[in-house]
Structure 1
Amino acid sequence: MEEKTFRNYDAPDVSAAVKEHYRKMRKNQTYDYVQRMHKKYLTFDKPMDLWEAMRHLNSLIDVSDPDLDLPNVQHLIQSAEAIRADGRPDWMQLTGLIHDLGKIMFMWGNDEDGTSQAEQWGMVGDVFVVGCALPNTCVYPEFNELNADMKDERYNTPTGIYEEGCGLDNLELAWGHDEYLYQVLSNHKDNTLPEEAMVMIRYHSFYPWHTGGSYSELLNEKDKEYLQIIRDFNKYDLYTKSQKIYDLQEVMDYYRPIAEKYLGTGPIYW
């Protein structure tokens, strides 16, 4: 597919479920909600092998994605294989393979939090900053007004609760699989992935920033480097989507040694 055919949320064939997902996400993802989710889910007390987690994503289809309706594990393999085909470093190949693995949250999530198979608004979709004004670069910006924080003077200005120029790493983003996996791997004692990989994992769904150009008041010099990293990764995350089906078991032989190199051989604590 040509690049312009991706992420067209106004296309006639985009399901009503996609739009409804973003309505719920924009309404419910407030600053207080994000704080509750951090406290609830960042407990790091559920050991699970990397490949077991990958297999569980065979059971999840990302309702926010207008481009692909395959189990999420297929998107991960497609991304990794494209990175591999381009001869990129092994750590980047692994990053492509695991970048959405935070969606494993659905295994212990629930409808109320938006972290289940049925209700995914707290787990998937483009993220935004909570604690400051929502920009019109969000998907379906007409839903911004549904967020209660936009009626709170603490949170409804361009900088909100943040210092100007504080940088991405000091912002609170909407809760989802990016932040979850980033925090899990940050807590994982055997993780030796380079900083670039962690940036790719943490910010790949932050479209209002890396594609929309928003939040300029909050960015710092380091974020310019982050932007180049994300744009490099994005072409593999977005433009590799297809209906090609892979067998996870078949690709594991290649990726297992890379995973052991950067993440060790023990379980990851979710």
Structure 2
Amino acid sequence: MSPKTIVFLLFLVAALAKSSHLDLQRRAYKDLSPHIIGGSEAPKASYPYIVSLQYGHIGYDTMHFCAGSIFNSQWIITAAHCLNQIPINNFIVKAGKRNIKIVESTEQTVEVEQAFVHEKYSTRNFGNDIGLIKLKTPLNFTKEIQPIELPQAESEPTGVAYLCGWGYVLSNYFKNLEMPDKLQDIKLYYINRDVCDAAVTNLTGFSGSVGETNICTGPITGGISGCNGDSGGPLISRYGEKPVLTGIASWIIAPCGTYGSPTVYTKVSKFNAWIKQKIATHTTRLYRYIN
């Protein structure tokens, strides 16, 4: 496969993650021969901060296209490319979900009031791939619906990481790429950004694809990675029992799980100030006047 072909597939993965139609995703992806990506079914209520972004409207059939993370009761953190071509009145947010194919007693469904894409987001190389969603009504926190903390600003995560999502898995090699019903998770490892960029360069022939606003996970031995539909979802580190949002699933080199290919994320610690500034600017405050 030529370097130019591989680069095309790399961008195709992120583009398909924001597609508004699942059949389009399947038709576009059916000949890419993706690998089994190594996840397993997540335990109940183990990731209460993940949400499903679903194309459609309340009261009608909807369809998962990206994920996000609960920052507080009215704000969701996700990837910019998930928001870049989907009008806010064409998708909803579902929290408290484990099985995205059924209505669950734990779920809450909320419409979107506003969406914000980072001003320096690049569709060329997916730099600054971060966005925020403001919900029309606040979430009610329960055991299955909880916020997640930001990492320390400018911190560099190391060691073990965990990725969860409803991205595609492969049930029949070379034939059936399917979105799972139930939330999947996988244990990964952070890899050095220079090593990550070198791995991408080795596969594509182009260097500099991985920048300072990215973090990466491996192993890069093949068969383990994120995939379409995981975009926008949380990569976390655990400090004792406390989960911290270190990354936002951004892009991979297709096919998913390619040998030598890392999974690339937006590095959240680079955007603490941006997140807080956007929320502060667009949060309505009620004042009580004292006579």
**What TM-score bracket applies, with the shorter chain setting the length?**
under 0.3
Bigger helix fraction? 1
Bigger strand fraction? 2
With normalisation by structure 1, the TM-score equals 0.27
With normalisation by structure 2, the TM-score equals 0.26
Q: With CA pairs under 8 Å and 6+ residues apart, which has the higher RCO, 1 or 2?
A: 1
